[in-house]
Amino acid sequence: MHTTSQTPRQTNWNRVLLNAFWIILLVDLSIHFLDSLCLWGQHPEPLTISKFITQSLIPDTIIVTLIIILECIYRWKPLWSELAITVASHLFAVLIIINLSDELYGISLIMLLPLLISMIYMKSSYMKATSAICLLYTIILFFKTSNHGYVPITQTIIISLIFAATALAGFAVIGRGRDLMQSLENSVKSEQELRIQNIIMDRLSKIDPLTDLYNHKTFHEYLGWLIEHQQSNPFPMQLAVMDIDNFKKVNDTYGHSVGDIVLQKVAAILLEHIGPDDFAARFGGEEFVVILTSKTLNHSHEIMKQILAAISNTPFTEMNGKSVTVSIGMHDFTGTDSKNSTFQKADDALYEAKNTGKNKIVIS
């Protein structure tokens, strides 16, 4: 899978490396200036225009142009920045080596720059290519110094060992970094899976799986919480207990699968009519409970009347176009009510509705 965009961290590292290039350029110009002064003091020949152009102006202009091209790629082609900076680091190092005097000890160590950049990007392919280029440079350097005596050869060997040690350290850092990243990804994945499982378990513990309403346990917890808050901040609250009339007959006549469809539809009608501050739950079997808050008793009564009418006017094709009715008992909470007494009064009103004709609302 190809990356379609860079992460903020990748973009930040590209910016840091480009800033480092500008700093290295300034250091290079300073060293070149001081080097020219020192060499002129030892060999006071006049510096010709052609020599200045060849040794200073052209290499420095190429380096500046190279950095400007990298800045353009960073701005308009950010996906190419990583590869462009890695490739440019080789050219950058070679140009600086050419630009500065061979008499500066250790100037070849500037070739460590592409190795370090490959290490920063954590790309083994970049590290392999950079190591191969450093090896080639070391071979050229060895042949170049082989006729200059013992000291230059010793310096070349030391530089070669430094290159080799840096490359090996780079491969080790990249390998260890990949292990850490894989471990981090596995940890994040495990944490995400655990969160999903916790969410699912929390939902299963609170939601009735058939109707997607809250369950019996959640209803009791929420009603108890509301009544506790009534003591410090009283607000209007009504409890309605609703039961589907003759539901056993529905199951016996049409089967339990049709009974489940009826339960789901009744639950859906409940959710359509209650407000965002209200609460609906399946209490058990064909019985439902609704807590209505921040409303007058008349307003809540009108809502339950709409629910009553909507259910009785909903035909079921699975029941040959017949509908079901519900009976509802309501209680308007008062400050002296407890959780148990609130439910008991609403439940008593439900039984009165059942015993006095069904398909009606009784308020206690």
Active site residues: 286
The one-letter amino acid code at 280 reads: A
Q: What is the DSSP string of 303-339?
A: HHHHHHHHHHT--BGGGTTB---EEEEEEE--TT--H
Q: Is 255 helix (H, G, I), strand (E, B) or coil?
A: coil
Q: Which residues in 127-172 belong to E strands, given as ranges? A: none
* Residue-by-residue DSSP string for 344-355: HHHHHHHHHHHH
Q: Give the full edge-to-edge strand order of the sheet including 326-332.
A: 279-284, 287-293, 237-244, 326-332, 361-363
Question: For the stretch 299-311, what's the b/e string if a residue is b when 16 or more beta carbons lie within 10 angstroms of its beta carbon?
Answer: ebbebbeebbebb
Using CA of residue 165, residue 170, residue 173, residue 179, what is the dihedral sign? negative
Task: Choose among 326, 303, 287: nearest CA to 238.
Answer: 303
CB 97 within 8 A of CB 108: yes
What does DSSP say about strands 326-332 and 361-363: parallel, antiparallel, or unpaired?
parallel
* Sheet strands (E) in the chain: 237-244, 279-284, 287-293, 326-332, 361-363
φ and ψ of 324, to 5 deg: -120, 165
Strands 326-332 and 287-293: unpaired
Q: What is the CA radius of gyration of the chain?
A: 41
- Whether 241 and 279 have beta carbons less than 8 Å apart is answered as no
Question: Nearest CA to 273 among 257, 292, 286, 256?
Answer: 292
